[in-house]
């Protein structure tokens, strides 16, 4: 039986005592409206991301999605189409639920490794 004093000991023994990840707080709020199929979702630009270094306008996001805020290095940026995304950026996206999978796919693309010529590929 676990009691108040034994719970921390049991948690430590089971390696469940790690601190919880801090949830990022944004200077913007979103209240879903009945009948509107839109939500505000946060996503991180992965390290080794194919979209890092690209302007928002170049991403090819669906017309009904909008990047409304970027968290970068503990600062918040209100982006424009010309804003360049960086690895590790956390972006807040206003998106229609039907196109959310497409937006996730675009934002989670990983950079492909470029082909480096081997000895056999080089002309002699």
Domain containing 78 — which CATH number? 3.30.70.1450
pLDDT in tens, 60-76: 999 999 999 999 998 99
**By the 8 A CB rule, do 119 and 71 touch?**
no
> Strand pairing partners for 19?
none
- Write down the pLDDT at residue 91: 95
- Write down the pLDDT at residue 100: 95
Q: Is residue 53 part of a domain?
A: yes
Residue 86 burial class via C-beta count within 10 angstroms: exposed 0-12, middle 13-18, buried 19 and up: middle
- Write down the pLDDT at residue 22: 54
- Write down the pLDDT at residue 41: 92
Q: Is residue 51 part of a domain?
A: yes
- Write down the pLDDT at residue 116: 43
Q: Is residue 11 part of a domain?
A: no
Q: Is residue 79 part of a domain?
A: yes
As a whole number of angstroms, the distance between CA 96 and CA 40 comes to: 9
Q: Is residue 17 part of a domain?
A: no
In which domain, by residue range, is 71 found?
Answer: 33-112
- Write down the pLDDT at residue 93: 95
Q: Is residue 13 part of a domain?
A: no
DSSP per position, 55-120: BGGGS---TTEEEEEEEETTEEE---TTPBP-TT-EEEEEEETTTHHHHHHHHTPBPPPPP---GG
Q: Is residue 91 part of a domain?
A: yes
The residues, any chain, with a CB within 8 Å of residue 96's CB and separated by 6 or more, are 37, 38, 62, 64, 65
Please give the chain's pLDDT, 124 residues, in tens: 556 666 666 666 776 655 545 566 788 888 878 888 899 999 999 888 999 999 999 999 999 999 999 999 989 999 999 999 999 999 999 999 999 999 999 998 888 765 444 444 445 4
Q: Give the CA distances from residue 82 to residues 24, 52, 53, in Å, rounded to whole numbers and listed in that order.
A: 25, 13, 11
Q: Is residue 15 part of a domain?
A: no
Q: Which helix (H) or strand (E) holds 54?
A: none
Provide the number of structural domains found in the chain.
1
């Amino acid at each position: 039986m676990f009691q108040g004093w034994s719970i921390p000991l049991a948690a430590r023994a089971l390696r469940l005592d790690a601190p919880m990840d801090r949830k990022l707080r944004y200077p913007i709020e979103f209240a879903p409206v009945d009948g509107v199929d839109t939500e505000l979702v946060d996503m991180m630009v992965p390290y080794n991301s194919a979209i890092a270094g690209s302007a928002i306008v170049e991403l090819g996001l669906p017309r009904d999605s909008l990047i409304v805020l970027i968290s970068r290095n503990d600062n918040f940026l209100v982006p424009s189409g010309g804003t360049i995304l960086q690895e590790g950026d956390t972006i807040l996206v206003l998106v229609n639920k039907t196109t959310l999978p497409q937006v996730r796919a675009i934002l989670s693309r990983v950079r492909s490794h470029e082909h480096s010529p081997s000895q056999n590929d080089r002309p002699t």
